[in-house]
C-alpha cells in the first residue's frame, strides 16, 4: 500500500549536482517527517538529511551542511534532496524514509522510520 519511490540518481563528476526526488503514495504525506539516508557497500546506512512534517525544521549530517538542501512539497507528496558540490565520498545508494509526525523525531536513527523507499544510486567520479 505505502510506496516511497526515489529518483534522480546517476553518474556525475566531482563538483557536479543532482536533485533526488522521493514520491510518496498510500499515506497522508503531510503527517510524516521525512529523512534521507545513504548506504555504501560494506557500510552502515548513514543519515544525510531530514525535514519535519511542515518543513519548518531541517537537519543535516556535518558532511552535507552547505552542500545539500532538503525540501518538501506536501501538495505533490514529494520530498527532495538537492546535492551540490558533490564529492566521491558521496557515492552511495540514497534512500528516503517516512516517520509519523506525532512521534518523537529521532531523525538520525534509521530504526525510527516507518517506511522506506527502494533507493537510487548516486555515483560521483573523480
| Torsion sign across C-alpha atoms 11, 17, 22, 23 | negative
- As a whole number of angstroms, the distance between CA 88 and CA 106 comes to 28
Nearest 5 degrees, angle CA 105-CA 81-CA 117? 65
Confidence of residue 101 (pLDDT cuts 50, 70, 90): confident
- As a whole number of angstroms, the distance between CA 3 and CA 116 comes to 8
- Tens-place pLDDT, residues 3-54: 999 999 999 999 999 999 999 999 999 999 999 999 999 999 999 999 999 9
- Tens-place pLDDT, residues 62-93: 999 999 999 999 999 999 999 999 999 999 99
Nearest to 76 by CA among 107, 55, 57: 55
Amino acid at each position: 500500500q505505502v510506496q516511497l519511490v526515489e529518483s534522480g540518481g546517476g553518474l556525475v563528476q566531482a563538483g557536479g549536482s543532482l536533485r533526488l526526488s522521493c514520491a510518496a503514495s498510500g499515506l497522508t504525506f503531510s503527517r510524516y517527517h521525512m529523512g534521507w539516508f545513504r548506504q555504501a557497500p560494506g557500510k552502515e546506512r548513514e543519515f544525510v538529511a531530514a525535514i519535519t512534517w511542515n518543513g519548518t525544521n531541517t537537519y543535516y549530517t556535518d558532511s552535507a551542511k552547505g552542500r545539500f538542501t532538503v525540501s518538501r512539497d506536501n501538495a505533490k507528496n514529494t520530498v527532495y534532496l538537492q546535492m551540490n558540490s558533490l564529492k566521491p565520498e558521496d557515492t552511495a545508494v540514497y534512500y528516503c524514509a517516512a516517520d509519523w509526525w506525532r512521534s518523537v523525531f529521532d531523525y538520525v536513527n534509521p530504526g525510527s522510520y516507518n517506511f522506506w523507499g527502494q533507493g537510487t544510486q548516486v555515483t560521483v567520479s573523480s
